[in-house]
Amino acid sequence: MMKNFPIVLFLFLFTMLNSGLMGQSIKVPIKKKVIEETDYRANKNADELIDKGFDKVEDGIKSLFKKKKKKSKKSHGDQAAVEAAAQSNGSQGAGGVVEASSTNKPVAPNLKWSTYDFVPGQTVIFKDGPSADEENGEFPSRWDLVGGGAEIAEVDGEPVIVFITDAGNMYSKGIVPYLKDAEQDYLPDVFTVEFDAYFPPENYNDTYYLTLYDRKNQSRNELPQITFYVNSISCGNTEGTYRGKSRGNRDNVGGWRHFSVAYTKGKLKVYLDDQRLINIPHLKGNPTGITLSSSCDKPYIKNIRIAAGGVKYYDRVLSDGKIVENGIRFDVNKATLKPESMGPINKIYKLMTKYPDLNFSVEGHTDSDGDADFNQKLSEERAKVVMDKLIAMGIDKNRLKSKGWGETKPIDTNATPEGKANNRRVEFVKF
């Protein structure tokens, strides 16, 4: 008898609807809703009584397919775990864990980085974290203003730059690096730009913009603006979307994204996290500077870096006997590799695979901030982490060794953020 209960209940509901026992207000529209429920079970606004009735019907049907029910239950459990995590965890981006808000916290994206091939320029010409010395609420000291506004804020204990935007022409807003002779072309023929940007979960219209000229100090050029969305990038008529993600500008997790731009004498490549989404072989126009702007609800950016150069690794080995790499990065005062470090490491791995007689001493260097003994130990640990990573990828351990030099061999001044960034490096010295 219990097995037939759902069917009996369904017939009872339908009989009541046809006979008018549920009141004079229930007419054809409600009948139509019941039919739609029967066909699709997708209308979540059905009357409470109808909803309960169909729940019973579903239970009866599912009991006939126990195996399917178990699989569905597992799938639902996995989804529930994801949704629960989305409510309780932070988002692990390229720069760290950051909460969107106290009640809506994104989860860590599942990134691979195993095929990431972006390599930063070897000489940093502009860098801003921003510094922990920046005062909250003040305009970021290393930038100048085109329009709108910007200020320093703290997100999850880390300083960031917050854009203050309003309705209007985005071309009249944004910030530019505060540089001497900013009206001059300060971008070389080969350069890279990187930054981390935050996207609140569920928002639809959040965008960041990179313009390859200084909109305050320089004349407009022919280059199209690069637009960064939560899961895609566009430049002129070219657009790319992160594999496995929806093309629409919305993500139920959101969080931090790492964007990388590589320009080499007219060739433009643009990356979102571990994937290259834009590859333009001949970009008309001459990049002369940068402007950053946003139309986001919570427009946070950090870890902005412009670097010059892009000489191929093998050419560096032939000319200098070593590869100097400041694109291998670690958490502050730790030997923990950041995800974007995999670009240079993947390149080193491919180089050593292609040339089996090439052996490297992996050597770590720091800037002069902090205690000298701590820096020495830190440089040794970081060099060993990089060496161990290459060995784990398949390079014979006899082809590698590691060493740390601490702050004893600077290649630039320790008086500027750019100089410190150049001194914090990993060198691959041929032996």
Query: What is the token pair recorded at 314?
Result: 């093998």
Parallel/antiparallel/unpaired status of strands 300-308 and 158-164: antiparallel
* Range in 238-247, 383-392, 399-408 the model is least confident about: 238-247
CATH of 311-431, one of 3.30.1330.60, 1.10.3720.10, 3.40.50.300, 3.40.50.170: 3.30.1330.60
Which of 388 and 76 is assigned the larger pLDDT?
A: 388
Say which amino acid occupies 349: Y
pLDDT of residue 128: 97
Query: Could you read off the pLDDT of 83-135 as tens digits, one per residue?
Result: 333 333 333 333 333 333 334 444 445 567 877 889 899 899 999 999 999 99
Interatomic CA distance for residues 218 and 290, integer angstroms: 10
Is the CB of residue 151 less than 8 Å from the CB of residue 162? yes
Torsions phi, psi of 338, nearest 5?
-80, 150
pLDDT value of position 316 = 85
pLDDT band, residue 367 (cuts 50/70/90): very high
Identify the pLDDT of residue 82.
Answer: 33
Give every CB contact of residue 290 below 8 A, 6+ residues apart in sequence: 176, 177, 187, 193, 210, 211, 212, 213, 214, 306
Q: Where do we find the tokens 């195996």?
A: 67
Euclidean distance between CA atoms 317 and 289, whole angstroms: 30
Range of lowest pLDDT (129-133, 295-299, 334-338, 415-419):
295-299
- Whether pLDDT at 44 is above 60: no
**Spatial separation of the C-alpha atoms in residues 289 and 187, rounded to whole Å:** 6
Question: Which pLDDT score is estimated for 317?
Answer: 87
Interatomic CA distance for residues 326 and 344, integer angstroms: 9
Domain boundaries, the chain: 2-62, 110-310, 311-431
Q: Quick one: residue 257, left, alpha or beta (phi over 0 = left, psi -120 to 50 = alpha)? A: beta
**Of the ranges 1-15, 34-48, 62-76, 157-171, which is most confident?**
157-171
Mean pLDDT for the chain overall: 80
User: Distance (Å, rounded) from C-alpha 120 to C-alpha 128?
Assistant: 15
Q: What local confidence, expressed as pLDDT, does residue 74 receive?
A: 37
Measure the CA dihedral 200/202/203/205, to 10°.
120
Alpha carbon separation from 210 to 215, 223, 232, 272 (Å, rounded): 11, 11, 14, 14
CATH topology of domain 110-310: Jelly Rolls (2.60.120)
- Report the percent of the chain where pLDDT is more than 90: 60
Residue 201 tokens read as: 């979960």
**In this model, does residue 25 exceed pLDDT 70?**
no
As a whole number of angstroms, the distance between CA 270 and CA 262 comes to 6
Q: How far is residue 312 from each of residues 124, 187, 188, measured CA to CA in Å? A: 17, 19, 16
Closest of 334, 346, 352, 330 to residue 399, by C-alpha: 352
